[in-house]
Amino acid sequence: MTDTTLDRGGFDVRSFIRDKIFLGMSLGEYFRSLLTPGNAVFALILIVGVPIIVYRFAFGIGASSHLTQMNPWGIWIGLDVMSGVALAAGGFTVATAVYVLGLKEYHPIVRPAVLTGFLGYLFVVIGLCADLGRPWKLPVPMAYSFGTGSVMFEVGWCVCLYLIVLALEFSPAAFEWLGLRKAREWAIRMTLALTILGLCLSTLHQSSLGALFLMMPHRLHPLWYSGFVPIFFFVSAIIAGLSMVIVESGLSHRVFKDQVDPKDHGKLDKLTLGLARGAAVVLFAYFFLKLQGLVDSGRFDLLLTPYGYWFLFEMLGFILIPSFLYAIAVRRQNATLARWVAGWTVLGIVVNRLNLSVIAFNWNAPERYVPGFMEIMISVTIITIGIMTFRWIVNRMPVLREDPSYPQH
């Protein structure tokens, strides 16, 4: 079954589809294999969510969300875009570690990290299209009307270019799947250049997502407003990337057990603890950076208010304590603990991004924004389609395993 039609000369579409798309099964077998409880949950989400997305585009943002003139940004920006971009930072973090810093032992997790990054960004852009009033105008700032004085312009360009970089970084896996040796070779040759370009673009857009808020001291609670916000965003993106890779690889090894090379089964704990060590250090540094931001603002008086308690909870509960717990996990060589801490840290990053863009945003406005059901459902649906795409690719391409017919690079 693996020696594909390509080897026999002529290209046979039917057997190509059977081998590459239906995992070597017939159509009937393939559909029967999809009847699992997990897929039932996915199907339910899509049955509810897809019509809501159609409704959103047919009747507008007002009809499908709780966004208002006073609160024009909600969870589509806070969760889909702000959190999505941070959590997709694993791609540049791990690629830099492996290809630039030469930490070859992390090679087995480069491809899943890059794939998570690529799909993360892809679905950020798809989520963004739900939020944009006129998404079909996306080519305007790319092609002919350049708002170069806008931080959003920088974000847009970097995200677009980085999406291309991630696609190219992942392309060797796709070429291996399709049996395109020549193309794969070319793609592999670009690895170092792409990794460096990826880090440049990530530095810029991860930080400039934070820089979007620099112009809004009038809207953002003083405890979260800081001139250092771009730096906070970049540093916490590294934490998000490392933690997300821990979470994703832990889940992948469980869900796609048969995909993983048996000789890699034992390696994961060691890699997880290595990533946890990095995350502990960066989290600790991030705590002190945030502390400097607080000192700089001088607003200690606000700490003893409800917003202040929430700020302290973020500082201690989502930054300082996970930093120590990561360190404990490393010290005791407890990969399971590291995975739980990683999950908690990922949640902490999401909370941070939601704090900036929703919770502490417009804190002094007369009306509060609370996301509506349809709004949440659109986000959930887009995330679900993202997860399904990840699974679809992992089941077909050499992501968690190496293709034995290609040399490791």
Residues that bind other proteins (CB under 8 A): 57-63, 67-70, 72-73, 96, 99-102, 104, 131-135, 137-138, 140-141, 145-147, 149-156, 192, 195-196, 199-200, 203-204, 207-208, 211-212, 214-219, 227, 230, 361
Q: Minimum distance between the CB of residue 144 and other proteins, rounded to whole angstroms?
A: 9
Nearer to other proteins, 196 or 285 (CB): 196
Between CA 4 and CA 34 the distance in angstroms is: 24
Nearest to 124 by CA among 392, 377, 345, 382: 382
The residue to which tokens 């991630």 are assigned: 166
Residue 86: alpha-carbon gap to chain centroid: 6
Which is nearer to other proteins, 151 or 244 (by Cβ)? 151
State both tokens at 344: 């908690």
Side-chain half-sphere exposure of 320, counting CA atoms within 13 A: 12
CB nearer to other proteins: pick between 260 and 358: 358
Query: Minimum distance from CB of 212 to other proteins (Å)?
Result: 7
State the nearest-atom distance from the C-beta of 134 to other proteins, in Å.
Answer: 4
Q: State which residue, 119 or 199, has the beta carbon closest to other proteins.
A: 199
Reading the block at residue 318, the tokens are 């989502």
Q: Contact at 8 Å (CB) between 77 and 131?
A: yes
Q: Residue 206 and residue 232: Cα distance in Å, rounded?
A: 9
**How far from 21 is each of 6, 13, 25, 128, CA to CA, in Å?**
15, 11, 9, 29
**From the CB of 216, what's the least distance to other proteins, in Å?**
6
Q: How far is the CB of 245 from other proteins (least distance, A)?
A: 20
353: exposed, middle or buried (Cβ count in 10 Å: 0-12, 13-18, 19+): buried
Give the separation between CA 118 and CA 120, rounded to whole angstroms.
5
| Minimum CB distance to other proteins smaller for 203 or for 389 | 203
Q: How far is the CB of 257 from other proteins (least distance, A)?
A: 32
| Cβ nearer to other proteins, comparing 230 with 348 | 230
Q: Which is nearer to other proteins, 13 or 101 (CB)?
A: 101
Q: What does the DSSP assignment read for 2-70?
A: -S-GGGGSS--HHHHIIIIISTT--HHHHHHHT--HHHHHHHHHHHHHHHHHHHHHHH-HHHHS---SS
Q: Minimum Å distance from CB 361 to other proteins?
A: 8
